[in-house]
Amino acid sequence: MGKTIAEKIISEHTGADVHPDDIVVARVDLAMVQDGTGPLAVDEFVEMGFDCLKTPNSILFIDHASPSPRKELSNAQKQLRDFSKRTGATLSDIGEGISHQILIEQYAKPGDLIVGADSHTCTSGALGAFATGMGSTDIALAFGLGKVWLKVPPSVKFILKGNMQDGVFAKDVILHIIGLIGADGANYKVMEFEGEIIERMSQEERFTITNMAIEAGAKTGIIAPDEKTRIFLKKHGREMDYREIKADLDAAYEKVFQLDLSNLEPTIAFPHSVDNSKSIKEAEGIKIDQVFIGTCTNGRLEDLKIAASILKGKEKHPSIRLIVIPASKDIYLKALEEGIIRTFVESGATVLAPGCGPCVGVHQGVLADGERVISTQNRNFKGRMGNPQAEIFLASPATAAASALTGKITDPRKFLK
């Protein structure tokens, strides 16, 4: 019997022929924490008696509260900086950007096994890596041993067919899929994506797809690397990291979904669950107070270009606040060079330094009671952005930008040429 992409990667990292539900100990290529989860991992690392790092790439990211808004978080971040100096762990400090974006720009490569103390570590799966979130204690063990234990997950294949309409993007696709299968529809499974729609998507769009696999409960999302993957790695000076890895033709899947998305419209996730997704027709006209464009889901250069193309030469609606945050320093610099940041500022946006920003709800854009935001992030749980009395609607950068112009949820196709 053939193997899925995930089974191939895990087999390579255990030196054994693995199958779904096997319990294995696997070698790790990269382990990471961020400033929310990192201090506990550091504490556990010390308590377990480790004094040196065994994972080839052990990385500490300060991105969730970047820069720190209060002393407690500052002290936690200092703990990570001190740990980096003491052990040699790589430190990505404030202003560098969001962990998941930096991983795909600088570190993750096809065939890697990556673990992170952050659920959206699965973003790197679009490069053909097995990348998954784990608890801080697991990551402490990965730092100290260079290995982790895991149960080999079964894979579910999603074959995406058809021709997407103008104004429909990767964010709409993944919101639709999560709405279809439910927030627990892929619990502890691998969501493997393929088909003509995936083939036509840019590498940047593919990251949006795998980033949100966790929102269906998945262990990770994976897309087989191809020529677009190679070009992406080359653009970041890492062409030598490219390799081909794909599922065998006779690989066994727990389930296969064949979805024709030709009639898919812009899609919105309503509060307070990502699987509460509806067509733009059901959302249009809902008044909003804030628009947020950014995050590890949709803060890439292509996302910013799409939003800027809608906003260019126009001003945001006077009743809303528009916040834009590039996902990394590299993206910020490119957006500056191309005049994208200028477009945002002229439209009335507040552009902040690379980081998670309002998404995590500890600073920068916390909502007031009763307010609504339309955001390009990946989660809209009650209280996610810092106030359980507020409402979060999820959408693509195009829908978010169009809504910024009208002060209410708006179909982006009205503004796209």
The per-residue pLDDT for 417 is 67
Give the residue among 320, 344, 322 at the shortest CA–CA distance from 331: 344
The per-residue pLDDT for 1 is 78
> Does the pLDDT value for residue 386 go beyond 70?
yes
> Does the pLDDT value for residue 63 go beyond 70?
yes
- Which tens digits make up the pLDDT trace of 133-188? 999 999 999 999 999 999 999 999 999 999 999 999 999 999 999 999 999 999 99
Confidence of residue 411 (pLDDT cuts 50, 70, 90): very high
CA 356 to chain centroid, in Å, comes to: 11
The per-residue pLDDT for 137 is 96
Q: What is the mean pLDDT of residues 208-228?
A: 98
Q: What is the mean pLDDT of residues 312-325?
A: 97
Q: What is the mean pLDDT of residues 102-123?
A: 97
**pLDDT over 70 percentage in the chain:** 100
3-state secondary structure of 174: helix
The per-residue pLDDT for 193 is 98
- What ranges do the domains of the chain cover? 7-260, 269-414
Q: CA-CA distance, 250 to 141, in Å (whole number)?
A: 35
- Which tens digits make up the pLDDT trace of 92-106? 999 999 999 999 999
Per the prediction, the chain carries an average pLDDT of: 97
Q: Which of 188-192, 280-284, 353-357, 413-417 has the lowest mean pLDDT?
A: 413-417
The per-residue pLDDT for 294 is 97
Instruction: Write the class of the CATH domain 269-414.
Output: alpha beta
- Which tens digits make up the pLDDT trace of 2-42? 999 999 999 999 999 999 999 999 999 999 999 999 999 99
Quick one: CATH architecture of 7-260?
A: 2-Layer Sandwich (3.30)
> Does the pLDDT value for residue 126 go beyond 70?
yes
Task: State the residue for tokens 């996610």.
Answer: 384
> Does the pLDDT value for residue 381 go beyond 70?
yes
The residues, any chain, with a CB within 8 Å of residue 165's CB and separated by 6 or more, are 262, 263, 264, 265, 413
The per-residue pLDDT for 416 is 84
Q: Are 153 and 190 in contact (CB under 8 A)?
A: yes
